[in-house]
A = this chain, B = another copy of it.
Amino acid sequence: MATPADIAASDVRDAHEIRHWDREADVVVVGFGCAGACAAIEAAEAGAETLVLERAGGGGGTSALAGGLIYLGGGTPVQEACGYHDTVEGMFTFLMAACGPSPDEAKVRVFCEQSVAHFHWLEAHGVPFKRSYYPEPSMEPPTDDCLVYSGGEDAYPFDALTPPVPRAHKPQTPNAAGGFLMQRLIAATEKAGATVLCDARAETLVVERDGRVVGVVMRHDGREHLVRARRGVVLTAGGFVQNDAMLQRHSPLLQRCNYRLGVDGDDGRAIRMAMGAGADLSRMHAGEVAVPITPPRRLVRGILVTPAGQRFINEDAYYGRVGQEGLFRHGGRMFMIFDTAIYERNLAGFETHFVEETIADLERVAGFPDGSLQRTVELYNRHAANGEDPLFHKHRQYLQPLVQAPFAAIDCSTDKVIWATFTLGGLRTNPASEVLRPDGQIIPGLYAAGRTTNGIAAEGYVSGISLGDGTFFGRAAGRNAAASRE
């Protein structure tokens, strides 16, 4: 069990007790991932003296480990060049449906309305996007191509709500682009004139008696430093996927996932610091859960079944949706079933666990209840032969009867293949990235963005939304902090 200190709100430091500040800036940004970089750029460009505190030895954070997809839409130049007609309303409708139940409508609205402008801002700050589309969805292209489907926009149930359009934009570099994105944003941060201090761990907020946040206490060079923030503190220091005690408290099922997407710093410290200053929390049980079955996309022509031998989802759904359904609804236990015509080793290297000449043998050997998998495959095949999936609505182009022996099963349970997770819950903020109290009032001087907050992806998830809302609301945090006055 965790010690209480790992879960609890941090104490705050009373500003009245401070006689001497070791350092001062207008805006102090805690954490140097994508949200922190964008906050610092905006603050510095607005003329604020800006200091970024990064606890690691260099900038990047979990953003640099990411695939690099950024969720943008409403008619970006890349979408238009590739022949996709997107609208603000279409993007809004999709995100409200995919990120729910009931994501923060005001935040989703502004995120969609200003998305094209945000695209241009990123390009103007050194993040290039090739005007090209890549057909394999959900993951970053191995090429330097840009646009991909990343949230099941073209799959049930979302394609029935609004015309499907790809919206994940990868910066122009081959393979994973998170590191590249952060190189560019770090360069832009320096160019904007912000000061970056690494190996500097913010630990405590300094708060006036009236509740205004006016600085941070941080550790650097082996000792405590008091850093005054004349206009505001911006918390952009990641989520809490590396904090077992917080996971146990808020979202125990996530602990079953065997791959935690996050740097060491994702220990929830910034969330706990803000709690100490009275911040409200939102959707702390929510988590991204990805089972990277695809690419290649052809694998969704197989079927996913529970240990009871039943299908439970359209297999062409975004694999993050598959993961959330698999974990939260089926306890992290599922199998993929293929025939030889469909099978191919996937990119994550999943191996078949069972290969048999008949479905009946596969059913028996893999331990499904007698007759269960046979009936599931029989029914699936019958409808697939007609190009239909009346149970789960997989699209016609992925419907292919499983008929060519041998047949195979991959045990996709949490103890067998990659289940990747990070947390989605965090501080409750408004569209201006101001941190809110439980009474809905803002905490003066305190801003936050990225996975320190509960963002656009309130509970559901789509690839690209973390870099998307991290950069977008990071900018708002920096801009509004710079415009704030004591």
Contacts and interface: CB of A to CB of B under 8 A. Distances in A.
A437 B7 CA distance: 12
A459 to B, nearest CB: 9
- Band of interface residues on A: 35 or more
A21 interface: no
Interface string A357-382: 00000000000011110011011001
A248 interface: yes
A283 B283 CA distance: 9
Q: Report copies per complex.
A: 2
Contacts of A10: 439
A382 B374 CA distance: 14
A307 to B, nearest CB: 9
Chief secondary structure at chain A's binding surface = loop
A329 interface: yes
A276 B439 contact: yes
A285 interface: yes
Given A252-B102, A285-B285, A275 B391 contact: no
A8 interface: yes
A129 B387 CA distance: 62
A276 B439 CA distance: 7
B8 A438 contact: yes
A443 to B, nearest CB: 13
B252 A101 contact: yes
A401 interface: no
A308 B439 contact: no
B375 A390 contact: no
A47 B166 CA distance: 70
A440 interface: yes
A278 B9 CA distance: 11
A11 interface: yes
Nearest to A308: B391
B378 A440 contact: no
23 contacts: A8-B438, A8-B439, A9-B437, A9-B439, A11-B439, A101-B252, A101-B253, A102-B248, A102-B252, A276-B438, A281-B281, A281-B438, A285-B285, A308-B311, A309-B391, A310-B311, A329-B329, A369-B383, A370-B383, A371-B382, A372-B379, A372-B391, A375-B379
Given A275-B439, A310-B391, A371-B379, 4 more contacts: A4-B440, A9-B439, A308-B392, A375-B379
